[in-house]
Amino acid sequence: MSRPGRLPVESTSEQRIVLHVDMDCFYAACERLREPPLRGEPVVVGMGYEPGETVGAVATASYEAREHGVESAQSIERALELLPRREADPDAEPTAYYRPVDMSYYEDVSEEVQSVLAEHADVLRAVSIDEAYLDVTDRTDWESVEQFAGELKTEIADTVGVEASVGVAPTMSAAKIASDHDKPDGLTVVEPGSVQSFLAPLDVEDIHEVGPKTVTELAEMGIETAGELADADPAALVDRFGERGRAIYRYARGEDDRDVTPVGKPKSLSRESSLPAEAGGSRTVREQVRTLADAVADRANRRDALYQTIGIKVVTPPFDINTRERSLSGPVDRPELVRSVALDLLAEFADREVRKVGVFVSGLSFSAGDQASLAEWDGDSDGTEIETHTNETDTTPQSSSGSRRLSGQTTLADFR
Ligand code: DCP
Ligand code: MG
């Protein structure tokens, strides 16, 4: 076997042009979109946060808030110490606006971004709600890719109203690092042949597949930067880490053969929303279901998806998940049917207290031949599902009570 050191550097990847797009402070940017006075101000978006409360953790913070030390995963309590609530103390300086996470809204914005991206690439892969890889090899070349990426950023800003940072490189891993290189509003192009020198000064933790434990172990071997990793003896790395040792060595040298591959088409489309405890009343629930049904039907329509099953999910106290569904005789695109079937299924819960409702369509088929690129936007095997909402209370299939009607194709997994 030839020593990896003799392999031509970046030999396998020069032909591809990969873009990595990552939205800037995405949840905060979405909040600013619907609440323009928040623009240019410190904004903190809290997961599990309730207005006026101190519970929860920071999902993201605007760059203005980050300047004061607020960061993702911090407790809201700590963030409030660094930046008091604007409303609570208008005279204090500095302060921030605090907003609770609203996934449903962020997913809508994400979908708009995805539509713009889909127009700019034949192959794209969404890896989270605010992040995607595009293979644009057939759309541009290395001379024009900076302009191409700049136009993409502008179009996202103009049509959706949020800002993206973009990295361009001949490999996925370098493109990802490049998009993070000059945030926010960044655009970094790493040309073929300069990947290794671009990576060299970075900490090893920036290299793909290098986690915190590996960082410590590499430090014990005297390796702290990507450049040191690229110059290390690959045999020693294999001794220590097995085959992964060779992989991280190659990534540090800018070698990454992975292709941007789309993920499969969705099995179902769903929308759900929580109802405030005080909302009560079956009328409110019916209105909510009507809205969700329209949103799901619209989403299916935009993707040229036909559905054969229509269903609802109803969460009743404490956290019982009830799903009801009805199968149709064939695949359809009939928004009014989604509405009427969903409302019909809901009738059973007319006298019950409802915490959360969802509407889904499943048994999907895609009518148009060119849906591949849009259907790719349904998340990643290791990432966030874009179509569906995640909620820690609704992932336990056992708590579903007598949930099947007519046909049994739909699963609770569709809601995860
Ligand atoms: N997110 C979260 N909890 C985390 C990290 C992120 O809920 N610990 C959410 C909120 C972010 C979104 O995911 O807005 C996207 O994650 P990013 O890591 O891309 O962070 P941002 O987009 O907020 O900021 P950046 O500008 O650094 O990309
Ligand atoms: Mg982001």
Residues 199 and 301 in one domain: no
Which atom, in ligand 1's list, is nearest to the CA of 73?
8
Residues 316 and 401 in one domain: yes
Asked whether residue 1 carries a pLDDT value surpassing 90, the answer given is no
Element (DSSP H or E) covering residue 19: strand 18-23
Q: Which domain holds residue 346?
A: 268-415
7-64, pLDDT tens digit by residue? 344 444 447 999 999 999 999 999 999 999 999 999 999 999 999 999 999 999 999 9
How far away, in angstroms, is 22 Cα from ligand 2 center?
A: 5
Asked whether residue 288 carries a pLDDT value surpassing 70, the answer given is yes
- 118 and 377 in contact (C-beta within 8 Å)? yes
**Ligand 1 site, residue 106, Cβ cutoff 6 A:** no
**Ligand 1 site, residue 60, Cβ cutoff 6 A:** yes
In a domain, 162, yes or no: yes
**Ligand 1 site, residue 107, Cβ cutoff 6 A:** no
Provide the CATH number for the domain around residue 389.
3.30.1490.100
Residues 91 and 110 in one domain: no
112-152, pLDDT tens digit by residue? 999 999 999 988 899 999 999 999 998 999 999 999 999 99
Looking at 252, 277, 309, the residue that finishes a domain is 252
Element (DSSP H or E) covering residue 375: helix 372-375
Domain count for the chain, please give it: 3
- At 408 the pLDDT is 28
In a domain, 257, yes or no: no
Which tokens hold the place of 146? 């900076």
369-389, pLDDT tens digit by residue? 433 333 333 333 332 223 333
217-261, pLDDT tens digit by residue? 999 999 999 999 999 999 999 999 999 999 999 999 999 989 998
**Ligand 1 site, residue 130, Cβ cutoff 6 A:** yes
- At 341 the pLDDT is 97
Residues 140 and 236 in one domain: yes
**Ligand 1 site, residue 117, Cβ cutoff 6 A:** no
Residues 131 and 92 in one domain: no
How far away, in angstroms, is 96 Cα from ligand 2 center?
A: 20
Q: Which residues surround ligand 2, an ion (CB under 5 A)?
A: 22-23, 26, 130
Which atom, in ligand 1's list, is nearest to the CA of 184?
26
Q: What percent of the chain has pLDDT over 70?
A: 83
Residue that wins the pLDDT comparison between 303 and 168: 168
- 164 and 23 in contact (C-beta within 8 Å)? yes
Residues 324 and 388 in one domain: yes
Between 164-173, 217-226, 313-322, the lowest mean confidence (pLDDT) is in 313-322
Q: Is 131 a catalytic residue?
A: yes
Task: List, in sequence order, every residue forming a beta bridge with 366; answer none if it has no partner.
Answer: 305
Q: What angle do CA 250, 256, 257 make, to 5 degrees?
A: 130
Residues 285 and 358 in one domain: yes
Residues 272 and 411 in one domain: yes
Angstrom distance (rounded) from CA 312 to CA 314:
6
C-alpha 56: how far from chain center = 20
Looking at 68, 101, 134, the residue that finishes a domain is 101
Angstrom distance (rounded) from CA 405 to CA 395:
20
Residues 325 and 282 in one domain: yes
Angstrom distance (rounded) from CA 82 to CA 101:
20
Residues 321 and 370 in one domain: yes
Nearest CA to ligand 1 atom 3: 59
